[in-house]
Amino acid sequence: MKGRLFVVSGPSGSGKSTITKKVRDMLNIPLSISATSRKPRLGEVDGRDYYFLTKEEFEEKIKNNEFFEYALVHGNYYGTLEKVVEDSLNKGHNIILEIDVQGGIQAKKRKQDAVLIFCRTENEEVLEKRLRNRKTDSEEIIELRLKNAKKELSYEKEYDYVIVNKKLDDAIKQLIDIIKEESYEKA
C-alpha cells in the first residue's frame, strides 16, 4: 500500500513549521527535506533543515527535472526533490511537505490524491507580530514576507483544509485529526 502525501502551506509566520514539526514527532511522519538556494539561518544544518544549494546548482536540477515541485519565493528557490517523495510513498509511508502555495498547487497537479492543508493566523496584525518577534529577518525581508502573505492568502480556497492557528495546541490537534482521517479514508 502506498503512503499518502500531505502538503502544509501558508504565509511565513503562520506557524506551519512549528505545527508540522510537533505533528511529525507525535505521529512519526517524515518531513521531506526541501532544497533551497537561500543561505542557512543561524543553527540550520545542511541535510537536516534544508539541502542548501547555490542558485546555479538549483537551476541545474530544474533543467534535469529532479524536482517534484519548486518555486521562487522571497527571491530564493525552494523545492522538493522527486526521488525523496516517491521513495517514501512507495515504501508505504505518509509524508508531509511543508511548502509554499505555488508548490502546493504543483503537488496537487502531480498527485491528485494529495491532501492540501492551509495554515494561517486569524489576521494580518498577528502575522506581522510573529514575523517581527522571530528577530531573524531584516525590515526589508519582513515587508516582503508581509506583501507575499497577501498573495498567498488568496490561494486558501484551493486547499482541502484550513487551520487558523490561534492556539498552537488546537492547531496541532486539527492537523493530527486531518492526517488520521485522510489516512484511514485511503486505507
Annotated binding site: 10-17
Q: Report the C-alpha gap between 152 and 9 in whole angstroms.
A: 9
Kindly state the cell numbers that stand for 130: 510573529
Ordered alpha helix ranges (H), 10-54 = 16-27
Helix (H, G, I), strand (E, B) or coil at 36: strand
Provide the 10 A C-beta neighbour count for residue 157.
Answer: 8
Classified as helix, coil or strand, 114 is coil
Q: Provide the grid cell at 18.
A: 512549528
Q: How is residue 15 annotated by DSSP?
A: S
> What are the binding residues for ATP?
10-17
DSSP output for 137-182 = S-HHHHHHHHHHHHHHHTTGGGSSEEEE-SSHHHHHHHHHHHHHHH
Residue reference for cell 511522519? 29
Q: Are 161 and 124 in contact (CB under 8 A)?
A: no
